[in-house]
Amino acid sequence: MTSKSEDQKTLFLIEKLTGIDFSESEKFQIEKRIKEFEMLLRASDLTLSQYLDTYEIHKELTEALINLATNNETAFFRDKKPFELIGHLLENKLSGCKNIRFLSLPASTGQEAYSLLFTLLNSKVDSKYFQIDAKDIDTNALEKAKRGNYNRFEMMRGISDKDKERYFSTEGSGSVVKEDLRKLINFSQYNLLEDKLIKDQYDVIFLRNVLFYFKEDLRKEILSQVAGSLKRGGVIILGNGEKVMTPNLKEEYYNGLIYYSRP
């Protein structure tokens, strides 16, 4: 049994490592996961208290703690509008570009990055003219993303029959993204709290459904850091309701969607 103060210290540690701030409403969920983490600790003959005092030397356990703490909720074409915006940009701002760079951060289990890829392929953009990077802190989520293997339920959320037929092969009761397509996305680990992106490199960044896990000041700092990696004129798309004011970005609208561009 963990004590309230050990649970509290674990939450502080998670926040220190990832920036994720657990609100009262999510505490129950994370307390369940801390119990799961304790089971892992038992296999290493450690108590939670011993781990908390020495976490820096237990790299694998810390990775497991982070993976347990994250919420990987995602779906193919999670919202339609951002992908409609991509279609619009390809016909306008990005028309004729031969080096279009996209970033999906956080990518979770990959559905956002694959939805982007399918949008580009459906718009007949030659794969030699674009690059997609997809990053997340969660190593388990990234492994799944790289495998591109989705179960029946995940396939029922957002994928059209046409895309399913074109871009997946069947494996058991699930589906797997065809190998030559999986290679078109560069999945890699990235911690928004610690890592820094190279400046001026992306045309489009998806920074969706993550900022709300952070405290207000951190949100602003992370948004401005990530936006710094946009090329001039590049655009950043946040999740629905994730509106962050920064003086360095221009608010824009497309078909009811609010997004931001770098002037």
Where does this chain bind ligand SAM (CB under 6 A)?
A: 18-20, 70-74, 78, 106, 108, 112, 136-138, 141, 190-193, 208-210, 213, 239
User: Rounded CA gap, 49 and 52, in Å?
Assistant: 5
User: Rounded CA gap, 109 and 69, in Å?
Assistant: 15
Closer residue to ligand SAM (CB): 71 or 131: 71
Report helix angle 59-69 to 24-43, nearest 10. Answer: 150
Question: What's the min distance (Å) between Cβ of 113 and ligand SAM?
Answer: 9
The beta strand positions in 95-209, using DSSP E, are 100-104, 130-136, 149-150, 168-171, 174-177, 185-189, 202-207
Closer residue to ligand SAM (CB): 154 or 203: 154
Closer residue to ligand SAM (CB): 49 or 221: 221
Question: What's the min distance (Å) between Cβ of 63 and ligand SAM?
Answer: 12
Closer residue to ligand SAM (CB): 20 or 244: 20
Question: What's the min distance (Å) between Cβ of 95 and ligand SAM?
Answer: 26
103 close to 131: Cβ distance less than 8 angstroms: no
225 close to 231: Cβ distance less than 8 angstroms: no
Question: What's the min distance (Å) between Cβ of 1 and ligand SAM?
Answer: 28
Closer residue to ligand SAM (CB): 46 or 214: 214
Question: What's the min distance (Å) between Cβ of 128 and ligand SAM?
Answer: 26
SS3 87: helix
